[in-house]
Chain A
Amino acid sequence: MVIARVDLPGTTNADVSVQVHQTRLLITAGPEGAAQLLKHLEGDAHVIYRRDRGTGGFFRSLLLPHGVRVDDIKATMTDGVLVVTAPDTAGKDDHD
Chain B
Amino acid sequence: MTDFSRVLCAIDLTEPSRRVLDCALWWARRHGADVSVLHVHPLALPPPEAGGLTGGAPEASIAAHAPLTPDAHREHQREIERFVEQARTDGLQLEVLLDEDPSVADAIVARADALAADLVVVGAGTGPASEHPVLGRITMDLLRSAPCSVLVIPPPAGDVVNPCVAGVGRVLCAVSLSEASRPLLESASAFASQSAAHLTVVHVVELSEVAALAYDFDAHREARLQPACDELVALVEDVVGPDKPVEEIVAQGAPSSEILKLAAEESTGLIVVGLGAGHRARGTGRPAAQAVAREARCPVLFLHADAAAAISRPFASDSRQEPRAAAG
Interface residues of A (CB under 8 A from B): 23, 46-54, 60, 62-63
B67 an interface residue at 8 Å Cβ cutoff? no
Chain B contacts of A60 at CB under 8 A? Answer: 229
Complex-state Cα separation, A48 to B227, whole angstroms: 12
Which of these binds chain A: B68-76, B179-187, B249-257? B249-257
Chain A contacts of B252 at CB under 8 A? Answer: 46, 48
B221 an interface residue at 8 Å Cβ cutoff? yes
Q: A51–B222 contact, CB under 8 A? A: no
Q: A47–B250 contact, CB under 8 A? A: yes
Q: B247–A52 contact, CB under 8 A? A: yes
Q: B249–A49 contact, CB under 8 A? A: yes
B12 an interface residue at 8 Å Cβ cutoff? no
22 contacts between A and B (CB under 8 A): A46-B251, A46-B258, A46-B261, A47-B249, A47-B262, A48-B252, A49-B225, A49-B229, A50-B249, A50-B250, A51-B233, A52-B245, A52-B246, A52-B247, A52-B248, A53-B245, A53-B247, A54-B246, A54-B247, A62-B222, A63-B221, A63-B222
B30 an interface residue at 8 Å Cβ cutoff? no
CB distance from A49 to the nearest CB of B (A): 4
Return the CB mask of B68-110 against A: 1 if under 8 Å, else 0: 0000000000000000000000000000000000000000000
Which of A23, A48, A54 sits near B225, CB closer than 8 Å?
A48
Q: A47–B251 contact, CB under 8 A? A: yes
Chain B contacts of A50 at CB under 8 A? Answer: 247-250
Complex-state Cα separation, A75 to B82, whole angstroms: 68
CB distance from B287 to the nearest CB of A (A): 19
Chain B contacts of A54 at CB under 8 A? Answer: 198, 245-247
- The total of interchain contacts (Cβ-Cβ below 8 angstroms) comes to 47
Q: A63–B249 contact, CB under 8 A? A: no
B65 an interface residue at 8 Å Cβ cutoff? no
Chain A contacts of B262 at CB under 8 A? Answer: 47
B49 an interface residue at 8 Å Cβ cutoff? no
Which partner residue on chain B sits nearest A57 by CB separation?
A: B247
Chain B contacts of A51 at CB under 8 A? Answer: 233, 247-248
Return the CB mask of B207-238 against A: 1 if under 8 Å, else 0: 00000000000110110011001001100000
CB distance from B168 to the nearest CB of A (A): 16
Complex-state Cα separation, A23 to B229, whole angstroms: 19
Smallest CB-CB A-B distances: 7 pairs:
A54-B245, A49-B250, A52-B247, A63-B222, A49-B229, A46-B251, A47-B251
- 10 A-B pairs besides A46-B252, A46-B258, A54-B246 with CB distance below 8 A are A47-B262, A48-B251, A49-B248, A50-B249, A52-B245, A52-B248, A53-B246, A60-B229, A62-B222, A63-B219
